[in-house]
Amino acid sequence: AQSVTQPDIHITVSEGASLELRCNYSYGATPYLFWYVQSPGQGLQLLLKYFSGDTLVQGIKGFEAEFKRSQSSFNLRKPSVHWSDAAEYFCAVGALGFQKLVFGTGTRLLVSP
């Protein structure tokens, strides 16, 4: 069965510092991976997605993620965090062809001044 693990429930980063959010997945076939961000009281916004090809994926708002098959990981990174990045971040794995996403439990990012 598919599963996604986000080991960090909360992370606090100083504004301007770099960020890495961890995501490990379990999937029997080629995974299709996504990172979503959720601001308080809002829906989910897609940051980036990986289907195939280049393992380093660029997304919106300066985020990137690297797919590492050998480690079953899809970690999200940003070189310099802004206060507006404070939100909850979800990693998800999807089945090809239709909409059945399996989500991790999320990581809440706090940004300190």
Partner 1 sequence: NAGVTQTPKFQVLKTGQSMTLQCAQDMNHEYMSWYRQDPGMGLRLIHYSVGAGITDQGEVPNGYNVSRSTTEDFPLRLLSAAPSQTSVYFCASSYRGPGLRTEAFFGQGTRLTVV
CB of 108 to partner 1, least distance (A): 11
If one asks whether residue 100 binds partner 1 (CB under 8 A), the answer comes out as: yes
CA 108 – CA 113 distance, rounded (Å): 16
Site string for partner 1, 58-87 (x = CB under 8 A): ------------------------------
Between 14 and 26, CB nearer to partner 1 = 26
Q: Is 68 exposed, middle or buried (0-12, 13-18, 19+ CB in 10 A)?
A: exposed
How far apart CA 29 and CA 40 sit, in angstroms, is 34
In the numeric block, the tokens 């959010």 are attached to: 21
DSSP-derived secondary structure letter, 6: -
Tokens representing 67 are: 């797919």
User: Quick check: 28 binds partner 1 (CB under 8 A)?
Assistant: no
Structure tokens at 70: 């050998």
Among the listed residues 17, 60, 96, 110, the single contact to partner 1 using CB under 8 A: 96
Q: How many chain residues touch partner 1 (CB under 8 A)? A: 26
Taking CB under 8 A as the rule, does residue 40 contact partner 1? no
Applying CB under 8 A, which residues contact partner 1? Answer: 4, 9, 32, 34, 36, 42-46, 49, 51, 90, 92, 94, 96-106
